[in-house]
Structure formats: C-alpha cells, structure tokens
Chain A
Amino acid sequence: MATISLRNVRKSFGTVEVVKGVSFEVANGDFAVLVGPSGCGKSTLLRMIAGLESITDGDLLIDGKRINDVPPDQRGIAMVFQSYALYPHMTVAENIGFSLDLKKIPKADIAREVGRVAELLQLSSLLDRRPAALSGGQRQRVAIGRAIIKQPRVILFDEPLSNLDASLRVQMRAELQKLHQELKPTIIYVTHDQVEAMTMASKIVVLNQGEVAQWNAPIELYRHPESTFVATFIGSPRMNIIAGRLDAGPRFVGTGWSAPLLGQNLDGSVGQPVSLGIRPEDIRLVDSSTDADFDATVVIVERLGAETYLNVQQGSDSLLVRLAGDMVARPGDVVHLKMDHQAFHLFDTQNRAIPG
C-alpha cells in the first residue's frame, strides 16, 4: 500500500514522444484507472510505473521516494498482464509461488502462502493444473494470485478483462472490486473501456495523445468534464456536442433554435462560436412543438429493452436521445425534443469547458 506520484513524466521512442509530461497522484488504497483511446500512451505509462520501460524525463515517486532508476522487482509493484502471461510449463501452484521460490523461501512456507491466496481466489481445487487446462476466468484469477502473493505496495493491471466475454467481464469486475475492498491495495488499472473505469475506479485519469486530459473521481468527471474529449469519452452513450454561438441573454443559438443558458454570466463572450454539450439522458420527448426546444427527424431506433436510443437529425447535427424502453418511434418520424437546461455543458473553440 502506497502513494504514487507522477511529476511531468515523459517517454520518447526515438524522436516520437508518446507520453508528454504526465502528472497525477494516486493515494494509498486508491483504485485508479488510466483510461483513454488506444494509442494514448496508457499502457506505456503503466509499463513505466512497473519499470519495464525507462522514464525519459520527469519523476516517479512511491511514498515520496523517487524510483525512476529502481529495478522492477525492488519497487514493491506487481503486475497483471493483458495476456496473463502465466508460465505454461508450471502448475497453478508453481505459477503463484514463483516469486517466493525465487527468493529462496522454504517450500513449506510457499505452500502455505499459495494455499492462502488460492483460497481467497477460489483456486484451491486447481492448484495442480497447468494453465492450458484452465478457463479464461480461472487464468485471470491465477494471474491475480501471482500478483497478490508478493504483498505488493501497488498492483498494476493492464487491460486484464479485455479478452473475456461480456458476462465473465461483468463478473470479474465485481470480483476485482471485492478483492480491492478486502485487501485494500493501491491499484492502477489500465483500460480503454470507460464502463470499466466508471464502475471500478475511485479515481480516473483520462489520457489523450500522451497527455492527461483530466483526473478526478468518476462522478466528478461525469458531471464536470473540462474538455469535449472527456465529455464525450466518459459516459455511455456519449455526450452530444452541438455547434452554435452565444447570443445575449445569455442564450445558445443552434441551427434554427435557441435555448437559455441558466445561471451563467457570459456577457463578455456574446457572438462567440461555442459548442453545447448535452447528455442523451438529459433530452426528453414532449407532445408539441411549443414546449420543445426543437423538432428533429428520427434516423435510427435502437431498442435495448430497458431503454431506447433514438438517433435523430436536427439541421446538420446528429443527436442521440436516451428514452424509456416502452418508447415507440420509427425512422422518419418527426419528434419534439426538450432539453434539461440545467444540464448544459459549454465548450469554447479550443474544446475547453467554459465554467458556468
């Protein structure tokens, strides 16, 4: 258990800079999730924390001590690989106990520790098996067992659920959270899946093109995104972004419609082009055009059972609306849409949030 700080950490491969000055902190016992689209540098960053990649510039600290040049095995860090990387020629017990065996710990002590970890992860009946004879979820648990037996200060996870099927992923998500609550380790977890990030994290670091876009608690990111990137990346389905401009009032003016901006003092910016962000769940259907902010044409209807997504066209903007499951609409229908004016997010031309 430990606190981790990254201060302006950089990584270059040749002339290509893939991590461009990343700073954030993970508190003791935090479940921090690094999330971002593929190629954003999140896995590289994790490998730098592990010590598998060198750090080109900046400082990496554990409990206030700079560990840039400390070898991986002396950092007190364990890692669960995306591929699991279980040693195929060893049994489950040998896999889990390998790090202790390398430390020349007596066989009896290793067996006791392995037994304890196996019990925790419900692997006790599988200890004599080889990885090839395990299911995906069991391999995942062995990989976790191999990490926690070292009693590391920090456990790193590199997209551990990405190769599991959907139902198993949900189950493993719950197991990981349970494990975190029981053992309270500091966890840094990399994923491209914002649902995983939202459900498990106590802190999310959103990465984009090698830079931290924003880091905070999940619900804070959801409520107060600082950029259109974070706004559209966090939350499913993604936030709608509508181009327009500011008018006196203040009002947001879209193509053929406008809406008041509540509680915002934007007098200085009147006439500026801005973007309006509105989440699909903050738009609803109303019966008549007079109550509506605007009318739109339904393009696609996705009925998921519990809810229905309408993909609608308004002018040149394509919007997603999230409605109750019993909503009936057909492509081509004209619908009247009303937005929750309290739920607006405004962004400037640099895609930065305009504080309200």
Chain B
Amino acid sequence: MVIRKFSRAQATSYGFLFLLTIFCLLPFLWVFLASVDPNARQFLQLPQGLTETHFVKIFTTENGGRWFFNSLVVVGCATAVVVVVGGLGGYALSRTNAWWKRPFLYAIILVRVLPPTALIVPLYKVMLTANNVMRGFVQSIVPADWVRPTMQIVGFVDGYLGLILVMAALQLPLALWIIKTFFDLVPKDYEEAAIMDGANVFQRIRRILVPLALPGLGAAALLTFIAAWGDFLMPLTFISSAELQLLPIGLFRAFLRVNDVDYGFLCALALLYTLPAIIAFSYSRRFLVQTFAGGVKG
C-alpha cells in the first residue's frame, strides 16, 4: 500500500486552512448549539441537555411567527415585483436600440452604487408625503375604524406596500442588468419563429421567453430575495408598528433588551432567520444550473 505523504509546506497550508474553517464555522455552531441548550450563554459550550423551549418561545410568548410572516410577505412581494418588472424591463432593454439605452443602464447602476443610508432622509420624506396622500384616499373610501388596518397594507410609511416598493426599487437595477444580459443571449429568431407559428404576444412570453429566460429570472429572484431578506435599514426606517415588524428588527430588538438577553431564544430566532435564505438558495440552484442549448446553430 502506498501511503501518500504530504510535504511540510502542504501540511502547513492544510493545517492553516483547517483552523480557518473552524474559525468560520464556530458562529454557526454556536447559534445551533445555543438554540437547543436550556442554559445557553454568550459563549460556545456543549449543551447540558436538549430543549425545544427557545423555539416554542418564538411562537408563544414572543411574536416571532408574525415577524417571520411579515418578512416573508414583504420580501416575497418585493421579489415578485422585481422579477416581473425586471423581466419585462430587462427584455425591453435587451431588444431596444434606442439612444438612451447605455446612459439609462449606467444611470440605474448609480442607484446601487450610492449607499441607501445616504438617501434615507429624502426617501423617507417622499414616502411620508405619498403616505399622506394615500391616507386621504383610504379615508375617503373605507369606514373610519378600517383605516388603520388598510393603511398597514397599502401605506407607504408603516405599511407593507411602501416597504415592498422601496426594497424592490433597491434591488431592481441589478435584476435589470442580469435579466437584460440574459436576454441578450436569447436570439430573436426564437420569437420570430413563434410569430410565424402563430403565437400572440402573451403566448410568446409564456411559452418561449419565460422558459428560455428562466435561469436569468431565477438568478435575479435569488439575489433579490437574499439581499432583501438581509436588509436591515429599510425595515427599521419604514416600519414602526410592533405587529408589522420584520424578523431582523425583531431579532435586533430582542438583543437590545436591558438585563433580559435570552441567548437561547436569540439563537433560535437567528436559526429561523437563516432558514428561508438557505431554502431559496437550494431551490434556485436548480434554475441556475439549467442551461438550454442547441436550438440555433452556433
């Protein structure tokens, strides 16, 4: 039997990589262990026993279920808006030859380049004004005691709609670039063949363009979902009602509680917070690796 021998240099580099890996994995390990540890503390320790009380607490004494639901609704809707608007816009940007195409593409990237924090005050002001207009409109069509619940859905400040639009707007430039670049690779011949086959514009979108653009749309959706799910500043700025609070804000506020930091609960909540991102990632991978070839001559 041949025993493969490592050189000293290799052994050193592998050893170093091993230590680095452990260092990177420790936070995750701590979060996982603490979430099931009845005596969870601020540092890594082996649990004395296993408990599910921290997870139960999320949904019983705390309002974690609602925060999770809020996050899913807002981020899910923002992703849907980005995919639909980005899909149509990316297609248009890919096919047009208008003179403003290049300037426009660079201009929207500017939205990404500027840190959103720098613009938060004027943005808030704009949204507040829009919110007042919306409130006036809502008050004119629904009974007085329905105004608040309605505004929680369609309000621009402290309502789902405003946060959805802000998050979508922040993610849209990148999605437009990704989808536009993807459509650049889908030959116009496919659409013309479909026209000759008698497909109307909706049939062309549904039967030809969406299936062909699926990897691009999937990539854009994945990046949007992950970025919006991890966003902290926008939910913090635009949501004030406790019942509309998003998960990262709930997590943050639980950590800030004076003399009452429950590390087991925090870690269980953190674990819950990572879950959708991981699921989104593993789902989208299917789209991302799927490639179509061979429809046209190279």
Report the minimal beta-carbon distance from A200 to chain B, rounded to whole angstroms: 20
B195 and A73 form a contact (CB under 8 A): yes
Q: What chain A residues lie within 8 Å of B198 (beta carbons)?
A: 73, 99, 102-103
A106 to chain B, nearest CB (A): 17
A72 adjacent to B193 (CB under 8 Å): no
Contact status B187-A99, CB under 8 Å:
no
Q: Is the CB of B295 within 8 A of A87?
A: yes
Flag B270-298 by CB within 8 Å of A: 1 or 0 each: 00000000000000000000001111110
Q: Which residues of B contact A169 (CB under 8 A)?
A: none
Q: Which residues of A contact B199 (CB under 8 A)?
A: 73, 98, 102
Contact present for A130 and B196 (CB under 8 Å): no
A236 at the interface (CB under 8 A from B): no
In this complex, how many residues of chain A approach chain B with their Cβ under 8 Å: the count is 31
A to B contact number (C-beta, < 8 Å)? 83
Residue of B194, B195, B196, B295 touching A88 (CB-CB under 8 A): B295
Q: What residues of chain A lie closer than 8 Å to B192, measured between beta carbons?
A: 52, 79, 81, 85
Q: Which of B194-244 contact A (CB under 8 A)?
A: 194-199, 203, 207-208, 211-212
Tell me how far the C-beta of A22 lies from the nearest C-beta in chain B, rounded to whole angstroms. 21
State the CA gap A194–B203 with chains docked (Å). Answer: 39
Q: Which of A94-148 contact B (CB under 8 A)?
A: 98-99, 102-103, 130-134, 136, 139, 146
Which of B195, B292, B297 has the most A CB atoms < 10 Å from its CB?
B297
Residue pair B294, A139 in contact (C-beta under 8 Å): yes
- Known contacts A102-B197, A102-B199, A102-B203; is A132 also within 8 Å of B294 by CB? yes
User: In the complex, how many angstroms separate the beta carbon of A107 from the nearest chain B beta carbon?
Assistant: 16
Chain B: interface size category: 20 to 34
- Which chain B residues lie closer than 8 Å to A51 at the CB level? 195
Q: A85 and B292 in contact (CB under 8 A), knowing A73-B196, A78-B196?
A: no
Q: How far, in Å, is A272 (CB) from chain B's closest CB?
A: 49
Contact B197 A134 (CB under 8 A): no
Bound complex: CA of A145 vs CA of B23, how far in Å?
61
Query: Does residue B32 face the partner (Cβ distance < 8 Å to A)?
Result: no
Chain A residues lying within 8 Å of B296, measured Cβ to Cβ, are 81, 83-86
List the A residue with the shortest CB-CB distance to B294.
A132
> Chain B nearest CB: distance from A126 CB in Å?
13
Contact A130 B212 (CB under 8 A): no
Q: Identify 21 residue pairs between A and B in the complex whose beta-carbon atoms are under 8 Å apart, listed by A's number.
A: A51-B195, A72-B195, A73-B196, A79-B196, A81-B193, A82-B297, A83-B187, A83-B189, A83-B297, A85-B187, A85-B189, A85-B193, A85-B296, A87-B190, A87-B194, A88-B212, A98-B199, A102-B198, A131-B294, A132-B293, A133-B294
State the A residues within 8 Å of B (CB): 50-52, 72-73, 77-79, 81-89, 98-99, 102-103, 130-134, 136, 139, 146, 150, 163
